[in-house]
């Protein structure tokens, strides 16, 4: 009689196992050094100052002013992501030197007068090459994220603006420029830190990302633009009520508030929960 191997340890199951769902990306941390932490706080204030100083010019000629300030906004956002945020796929490390050997003895290859001479001769050249490598490793993802912002985020936001009431047959330049500003504010940092991760972008559209400075600024931009549209149909007869001035004012304010609020201990890492079922599903995924 043949032995029964169905219950033997190590026997492979014939039933295929479903693939595990890809875990959600964790919240994004500001880089730990001093300069990124300082600039990450000054950055929202810089954007608000840029919007405040150019507000009268935007009211006078929205199309011309939005077009002329777009390069400055782009440079400020690119500088922010390069200085303050880790690029997609990277793990920021706080280690600045290699660990010492466990036995406490220095390696013969890492000590001695000959090594000192070699370090003095080639150290500056190697450090210079490493600095350029570090800059390029951040600049390339920043340029790619900017390309994603203009190629993908801008058309999507343009369509959303029209669906939510922007003029379809008139004010086309204002609509497109408004969408570009909203895209640069909200999508540049998301694309830089997460790339084209499908899970992350599903969470973005589902408003279910864990709170951090990147997601907080993107969500704040959207909510600010939403509330900024309220004064447009009111009969106040003010020149600043013209489309899309108040939408952009609300977006800039929302960006600043969301960026700072997303870093606070009370909000950081939290998710927006709508129903009890979603709370249970989120707990199962995290556990």
Per-residue pLDDT at 144 exceeds 80: yes
Per-residue pLDDT at 128 exceeds 70: no
**Six-digit token pair at 98?**
């290699």
User: pLDDT tens-digit profile of 52-67?
Assistant: 999 999 999 999 999 9
In a domain, 95, yes or no: no
Over residues 281-287, the mean pLDDT reads: 51
Over residues 204-222, the mean pLDDT reads: 94
**Which residue in 54, 74, 73 sits closest to 64, CA to CA?**
54
pLDDT value, residue 91: 56
User: pLDDT tens-digit profile of 62-112?
Assistant: 999 999 999 999 999 999 999 999 998 775 433 333 344 444 444 444 444
pTM of the model: 0.77
In a domain, 26, yes or no: no
Total number of domains constituting the chain: 1
- The more confidently predicted of residues 120 and 136 is 136
DSSP per-residue letters across 205-272: HTT-PPP-HHHHHHHHHHHHHHHHTTTTTSTT--GGGSTTHHHHHHHHHHHHHHHHHTTSTTTTT---
In a domain, 156, yes or no: yes
In a domain, 197, yes or no: yes
Residue whose entry in the numeric block shows the structure tokens 């290699």:
98
- Domain housing 254: 34-87+132-285
In a domain, 118, yes or no: no
DSSP per-residue letters across 49-108: HHHHHTHHHHHH-HHHHHHHHHHHHHHHHHHHHHHHSPPTT-------SPPPPTTSPPPG
pLDDT value, residue 108: 43
In a domain, 113, yes or no: no
**pLDDT over 70 percentage in the chain:** 71
């Amino acid at each position: 009689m043949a032995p029964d191997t169905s219950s033997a340890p190590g026997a492979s199951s014939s039933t295929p196992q479903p693939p595990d769902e890809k875990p959600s990306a964790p919240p994004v941390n500001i880089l730990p050094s001093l300069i990124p932490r300082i600039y990450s706080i000054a950055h929202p204030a810089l954007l608000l100052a840029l919007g405040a100083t150019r507000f009268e010019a935007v009211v006078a000629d929205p199309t011309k002013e939005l077009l002329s300030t777009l390069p400055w906004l782009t440079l400020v956002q690119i500088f922010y992501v390069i200085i303050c945020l880790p690029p997609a796929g990277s793990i920021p490390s706080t280690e600045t030197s290699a660990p010492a050997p466990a036995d406490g003895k220095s390696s013969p290859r890492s000590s001695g007068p000959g090594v000192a001479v070699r370090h003095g001769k080639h150290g500056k050249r190697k450090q210079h090459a490493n600095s350029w490598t570090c800059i390029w490793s951040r600049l390339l993802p920043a340029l790619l994220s900017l390309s994603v912002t203009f190629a993908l985020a801008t058309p999507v936001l343009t369509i959303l603006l029209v669906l939510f009431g922007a003029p379809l047959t008139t004010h086309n330049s204002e609509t497109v420029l408004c969408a570009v500003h909203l895209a640069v504010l909200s999508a540049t940092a998301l694309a830089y830190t997460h790339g084209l991760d499908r899970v992350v972008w599903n969470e973005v559209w589902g408003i279910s990302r864990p709170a951090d400075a990147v997601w907080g600024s993107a969500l704040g931009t959207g909510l600010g633009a939403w509330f900024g549209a309220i004064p447009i149909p009111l009969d106040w007869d003010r020149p600043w009520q013209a489309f899309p001035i108040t939408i952009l004012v609300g977006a800039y304010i929302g960006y600043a508030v969301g960026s700072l609020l997303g870093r606070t201990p009370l909000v950081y890492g939290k998710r927006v929960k709508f129903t009890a079922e979603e709370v249970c599903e989120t707990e199962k995924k995290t556990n």
